[in-house]
Each structure stands twice: as C-alpha cells, then as structure tokens.
Chains A and B, each alone.
Chain A
Amino acid sequence: MDHHEEFIGVRGIRIKVLRGGSGAPLLYLHGAGGAGVWLPFFDLLAKDFTVLAPVHPGFAGSDGYDEIDDIHDLVFHYINLLDTLGLERPIVIGSSLGGWLAAEMAVHHRERVSKLVLIDACGLKVEGKPIADFFAPSPPELRRLVFHDAESELARAAVPDTPSAEQLDAILRARQAAARIGWNPFMYDPKLRQRLFRIAAPTLIVWGEDDRLVPIEHAKAYQAGIANSQFRAIEKSGHVPVLENSTQTARVIMQFLKS
C-alpha cells in the first residue's frame, strides 16, 4: 500500500507523521515501544481509511521531549495536532500507551472522536492486577513479557538483544519519553476510570488473549466504564496484537468500523 512520511509543526513541535490509504481519517496512536514504521496492520486499514500515524513528541523522529510531562500534556498536543491537520472528528485507535491516550482524548474531548478503539490499553488501575514493569527487564525478559511467542522472528526484531545504533537511539528515546509520562503512577491515571462515562464514541476494546503486560482485567474495566463498548480477544497474541496477529486484529476492527 502506498504511504509516505511527512513532518508537520504542531504549536512549534516538529512531528513525524506516517500517512497512507484513502477514505475517512483514522488516527493511530502508538505505544511505549515506539513508532515511526509503517506496519502491515496499517495496510489492512488503509484499504478503506486514510491512516495517519504520528510519532509522539520525544520518540525517535519527533521533537518535543521536554514539552510533555504527563498524559494530559499529550492530550493537548493531540488536540492541537487534529487542528493542525484539519481533522474534525477522526476515528481514533490506540495501542498500549496510545490506548490510554486515546481514552483520555475521548474523555476530555468527546466531540473530537467519532469511534474509539482501545488495544491492550494502559491507563487504568485495577486492584491486584498491576501493569508490569517494562523498564527493568532485559531484552529477553521483555520479549517474554510482551509477546505470546517470545522467540519468534517478529519478537526478536522488535526487541533485539543487541540493537543497531539506530535502534538503540530509538529505544532510548522511547524509554525516556514513556517513563516521563508513566513512571509513577505506573502507566495509569488514577482519575481516568471515574471519568470514562464521558466517552460518547462507540468503542471497541481489543486485547491479546495472552497479554502479560497489561492483564486482561484492564479490558474488562474499560468495558465496564464505557457505555457503548464491546470487547474482542485476539488469539495467539500477547501485548501487541497489531504485530503478532495483525490479520485478526484488523478484521475485528474493520467489522466494528463498518458496522
């Protein structure tokens, strides 16, 4: 599928955006692992939608690390980004950290989100089921935490034991940008759950059935808090179904978006 990279200025922050496909605009918000690469998953969505996948401030490719202190700064940034791109009411899909961000956007600016998809989203505190620490593990430990099949080619490419110089740069930037937002409380907003009722958009909650990083109880908590929501589990997938099972993930999302 045709896609390209562009750089835009959002209130003075230089931001990298991947763009591809055609149709109604769909904003994809990436997770803490990083971004900036066009995924096979995007190809499946780009058949019917214009996929816009920006890189969050501070992650490799975008500036603005020092502009973002918490998730709410990121929400403001993305509302500014929607204004910059002239997107009135896109579909918003977020994975992991990006899922948390998508939920916050839909809470604070419900008029700006037409449909919402949360994929293995952080953001909530669920008693007894904390989000796992993904900063402390070594690369092999991290693969076991993130992936259903920790030693697959895909997992080893995503979390390499000995990263190249370019990969190391991206990893270090992703780690610090994510930690700044989510070190403590660890990747959640204590007030988010009581505010979920404000979400007006029809919502799909998608979860890797083998997610060891954000336990599936978090999916249930999102479902309980969002009135118009449905839940779909993804087989043979850990925390990142858009990578590990992109076909099924794209299929359930397309069904939801077309319904």
Chain B
Amino acid sequence: MQFFMFHLMPWPDVPEDFDDLSKYPSAWVTLSNRYYDPVKGHQLYNTYLEQLEYAEQLGFDGACVNEHHQNTYGTMPAPDIIAAMLTRRTTRMKIAIVGNALPLRDHPLRVAEEIAMLDVVSGGRIISGFVRGIGNEYFSMGINPTYSQERFTEAHDLIIRAWTEDGPFQFEGKHYRLRYVNVWPRPMQKPHPPIWIPGFGSRETVEWCAHPSRKYAYMATYMPEEMIKFFFDLYRESASKHGYEASPYQMGHLIPIYVAETDKLAQEEAKSGILWLYHKGLRLKWEYVFPPGYVSVDSMKRTTANAAALDWAKMDFNYLNDKGYCIVGSPETVRQRLSAYVRELGFGLLLALLQFGDLPHYRVVKNMELFATQVMPKLRDEFRTMQQKWLKAA
C-alpha cells in the first residue's frame, strides 16, 4: 500500500450565520470573496504547507494537492504553484497534483510545461492528475460546459503527445490548434509522470482509465463504500476484458481520516471539521454541479436518480462515519476499518485527508502523527505482499 496525505487548504472562517441556507445557498460560485481575509490567509497557507511538508518526515509516500476555484472548500486554484513550493521543501516524497482541470485552461501546453518543469526540478517525483473540474467551475471560469468532455480528451491527448513525441509537431484539434508543439523542458519520468484521475461517479471515466493504452489510476472521492466497490469492480472488469489484471495501484481512495487516543475522543475532536466539510465546504447547488451538457443527458438522468447518495447535507456525523464518508476512531479502529476496506475494495493507494474544515493545526499534527506511527506501519506490514508483487510489476 502507498499512503498520501491529501490537503484541500480550506477557508474555514465562514460567516457566523452560515447555516442560513437562504442567505448562503452555496459555498461556491456566488459566496462573496469579501469573506476572505488575506492576512489570515497568509497564516493559513503557511500552516497548511508545513503540514504537507511534515508528511515527508512522518514517512508518507507523498502529498496531494488539487484545483478548485472560487469557493471556501479549497483555496488552491493553481495547484501547480502549491506543488512548486513543496518541490523545493521536500526531497523524497511524491507530489501528486490531482489534478489540473484541463478544460478550464485555454492552453493545455501550459499544463504540459508546468508539470514537466516540476518533474525535472523535483527529480521525477511528480504525479500528474487530470480532472475536468466540477460543474461549478464552468460558471466560475466561463468555460462552456457542453465541451467539457471533448476539451478534456483533446487536451489530454495533446499533453501526452507533447511529453512523449519529439517536437516540433503540428496539432490540429477541434479546440486546440498549434503549428509548433515542442515543449521544453521534457519531463524526467519516462514515458511521462504517472497519471491519476479522480472520479465522481461516471462509468465512462472508469472505462477510459482502465484502457490498456492508459492504465491510469482511478481515485474514488466522497463516495459511500458500496459505490466505490461498484466502480473499482468496473475497473477490474474493464481491465480483464482488455486481457490484463488491474493492479491495486490503479485504484485509489480519498477519504477524511481522524485518529485520536480513543474512539470517543476521536469523534469529539473530528466532528466539527467533518461536518464543516460535508455541510459547509461541500454546500453545492444542483444547477451549479451539473451545468448543461457537462455530462450526457442519460448520465444526468442516472445522477438525478442517485442524488440521495451524494446529498451530504442530510447526513449527520454518525451516518457519515458509519457509511464510510469518513473514518474516525482510535488507531486500532481506524486500522481495522482501513484493513477491511482494502480487503473488500482491493485498492492500493490511500489518499488520507488528515486536515478538514476548521480542524486546528495542533489536532492536524496529532492526527498525522498517530496515523503515521500507529496505523500506517501496520497496514504496510499487513499488505506487504501486495506491495512487493505489484510494485515489482510496475
């Protein structure tokens, strides 16, 4: 197994009456940036960066950053910038950007260039995630959501070619046209940095990742256990249809985790932050999440039917913890639950969200230390065979 510390870098300081849904229907798009205080932001960014840097000292395999725009949930609109800071403050661990929202960029070659720069500077430690960006971001960035999927695919193809083919070459797509593709620098890792794709319930994405020409790792996010199982099984089935066996390292699970001395203490200490994440940071409006044409009409109908599984506002803390939207407990409880998940779901990459919502720094540090010293080593031991078999294959 491999362990990554995931961070969202939230802005927890929402107005006191934020529970008033009529006043604050969404934490995204329209929540005014007048609630952002740059002086406090200075402190927060640096604290968050220290947490990610500390992950290397504690023996994590890597740190994860991601891209979101114009919201209180996560303040990393430019994840490559955060990755650049980490690159120079760490020496060993991987830095996973999960990911750059390709369709939101007007120039995919900027992504190819930035990732290549980071890979070269870091000595080949970059993992490059690609996402479409969630629906909200098409409102925030003015990009036509009906082209989201085709812009993603086209930008992806262009970036991979820019990393793997000798330039210059000409690229004539529908959305991007370039006479001279000739990216300097080239990435250090061959053929290119590993690619991770966070997913949010689309079957097409899973099948696309599993294709033998890609074999991209698929990350399940904020889903209940049975939904994750469905998508991981689908991944394995797609792989075997293509005649190969999917590795556990082609599947990742992003989940908020909190470890404290006892179950009771863990629940007391984590509750506010977990509820902040699911009730405040993820306060989304259906019309924002699914702008027109963002997914096909048929997918949209399926999603509308499954909406309850992702309607976090209606879930209380115990429900969230019981159903696997988070894992909160003593080291032994968390170890047992994760062990059961890994056995049941068969994934090899754990993306642990160890800071969430308004969880204060001292508790984040305690959480990281308990996780790294009392949970992670035992899981590594337990799944060592998996590690050896598949890492050798990789």
Interface set of A (CB-CB < 8 Å, partner B): 133, 135-138, 165, 168-169, 172-173, 175-176, 178-180, 183-184
**Main SS at interface, chain A:** helix
Q: Does B145 contact A (CB under 8 A)?
A: yes
The answer to whether B301 touches A135, judged by C-beta atoms less than 8 angstroms apart, is no
The answer to whether A176 touches B146, judged by C-beta atoms less than 8 angstroms apart, is yes
Residue from B139, B143, B292, B301 within 8 A of A176 (CB atoms): B292
The answer to whether B285 touches A135, judged by C-beta atoms less than 8 angstroms apart, is no
The answer to whether B287 touches A169, judged by C-beta atoms less than 8 angstroms apart, is no
B291 (CB) vs chain A CBs: closest residue: A135
Q: Using Cβ atoms and an 8 Å threshold, which residues of chain B touch A184?
A: 142-144
Query: Min CB distance, A172 to chain B, in Å?
Result: 5
The answer to whether B301 touches A179, judged by C-beta atoms less than 8 angstroms apart, is no
**Contact A138/B287 with A176-B146, A184-B142 known, Cβ cut-off 8 Å:** yes
Query: Min CB distance, A186 to chain B, in Å?
Result: 9
The answer to whether A136 touches B146, judged by C-beta atoms less than 8 angstroms apart, is no
Residue from A137, A168, A173 within 8 A of B287 (CB atoms): A137
Interface set of B (CB-CB < 8 Å, partner A): 29, 138-139, 142-147, 285-288, 291-293, 297, 300-301, 304
Q: Using Cβ atoms and an 8 Å threshold, which residues of chain B touch A172?
A: 292, 297, 300-301
Query: Min CB distance, A67 to chain B, in Å?
Result: 13
**Contact A179/B144 with A169-B297, A172-B297, A172-B301 known, Cβ cut-off 8 Å:** yes
Q: Using Cβ atoms and an 8 Å threshold, which residues of chain B touch A137?
A: 287
The answer to whether B287 touches A135, judged by C-beta atoms less than 8 angstroms apart, is yes
**Contact A180/B291 with A138-B286, A172-B297, A173-B297 known, Cβ cut-off 8 Å:** no
The answer to whether B146 touches A183, judged by C-beta atoms less than 8 angstroms apart, is yes
Contact sample, A vs B, 7 pairs, CB 8 Å cutoff: A136-B287, A136-B288, A169-B301, A172-B300, A176-B146, A179-B146, A183-B138
20 A-B pairs besides A172-B301, A179-B144 with CB distance below 8 A are A136-B29, A136-B285, A136-B287, A138-B285, A138-B286, A138-B287, A165-B301, A169-B297, A169-B301, A173-B297, A175-B293, A176-B146, A176-B293, A176-B297, A179-B145, A179-B291, A180-B147, A183-B145, A184-B143, A184-B144
A136 (CB) vs chain B CBs: closest residue: B287
Alpha-carbon gap, A176 to B144, bound state (A): 10
Alpha-carbon gap, A168 to B297, bound state (A): 9
**Residue from A133, A137, A179 having most chain B Cβ neighbours under 10 A:** A179
Q: Using Cβ atoms and an 8 Å threshold, which residues of chain A touch B286?
A: 138
